[in-house]
Amino acid sequence: MDTKTLLEWSARYHTPNYGRAPICIVRGEGARLWDSDGREYLDFTAGIAVTALGHCHPRVTGAIREAAATLLHVSNLFHTAPQIHLAKLLCEHSFADRVFFCNSGAEANEAALKLARKYAKERFASDRYEVIATRESFHGRTLATVTATGQEKYQHGFEPLMPGFKHVPYNDLRAMARAIDNRTAAILVEPIQGEGGVNVPDDDYLPGLRKLCDESGALLIFDEIQTGVGRTGRLWGYQHSDIEPDIMTLAKALANGVPIGAMLAREDVARALTAGSHASTFGGTPFVASVALAALSTVIGDKLPERADRLGRGLMDGLRAMARRRSIIREVRGRGLLIGAELRQAAGPVVDACRERGLLVLTAGERVLRLAPPLIVDEQDCQRALDTIDAVLDATGA
């Protein structure tokens, strides 16, 4: 099938809710993708921070083959060994005591919101249900998570939104303190805002949120859907601070591209979920749990968070050197291999021009160029990405 026909059929038969690039990806290996015309791309999107191990990693592919030939699905009315091993591995490498599995980040955040409300109602009062989130945040596309999301563009047209949510500026402890009252069940926040512009908080922000929650009895929920699984240079983003959350949500890179979500919680908090109070038909099937077990074990065993930290520092140094020569780059920020370069103009045309030169990158908000390569990327790929961005900015006279 030729590319022109594929794109025509895509335009005719898909719902029009994606702004897709005019290429059709047919194959991937490591940090590279190929389109239906045979053109190669260096992938610095990783499926929006999903394929942390790159495309077709041999251990993930092997786990997929073995799991598919062994057992695809049984309901959560039964125990399965892969799910048990995955839950154990997650708890042994985080603050958490318990894990609930689902299919996506939005589902994981839905579970966290429901758990926070149930815990607060049982522990404090029936009118304690509000969740405070932050502006410019992104927490998902379901009705509750799009309400939690602090960006009106994702909410427009879907009103009335869910009741029980407040939004305050990110990285503003005073605003958060003023928003907390006797109806506050939880604070929901990303350790680093990804979609909102790769916004890194001050060092005292996450500890300050922990203190506010301890004083008020509210739960602290970290949305680590984008920052988790080694992306920021630590296994979890919260590990850059000295505090721990009460609940953490994961998805994206957890199974390196096979859909999965997870909500992790402390023992006393998780107890609010009794049998029958919450569920997910496909959550943590033996197939996806086997794949996630292989992916997470590889991230930990191959010390990929440390690699992300080292390579990310090099990329940010390169972008900052570029910023000293080019006034178009206002600021470079990020941690590990979650990096944003804020421009003084819209980032979309730069993303398009990079793609034309064989480099796939992302936007984050209107003006931020976002780099989220797989954690297995090497120094030569990083230098090629920097050279491509520099050439694109040079061609535009920026």
Active site residues: 138, 223, 252
What is d(CA 92, CA 84) in angstroms, rounded to the nearest whole number?
A: 12
Provide DSSP, 45-111.
SHHHHT-TT-BT-HHHHHHHHHHHTT-----TTS--HHHHHHHHHHHHTSS-SEEEEESSHHHHHHH
Tell me the pairing of strands 219-223 and 184-189: parallel
> How large is the greatest C-alpha to C-alpha distance in the chain, in angstroms?
62
C-alpha closest to that of 95 among 212, 217, 270:
270
DSSP 263-320: EEE-HHHHTT--TTSS--TTTT-HHHHHHHHHHHHHHHHTTHHHHHHHHHHHHHHHHH
Decide: helix, strand or coil at residue 374: coil
In angstroms, the CA 336 to CA 304 distance is 10
Gyration radius (Cα) of the chain, Å: 21
Residue of 384, 370, 311, 312 whose CA lies nearest to 341 = 370
- Taking residue 295's Cβ as centre, other Cβ atoms within 10 Å add up to 26
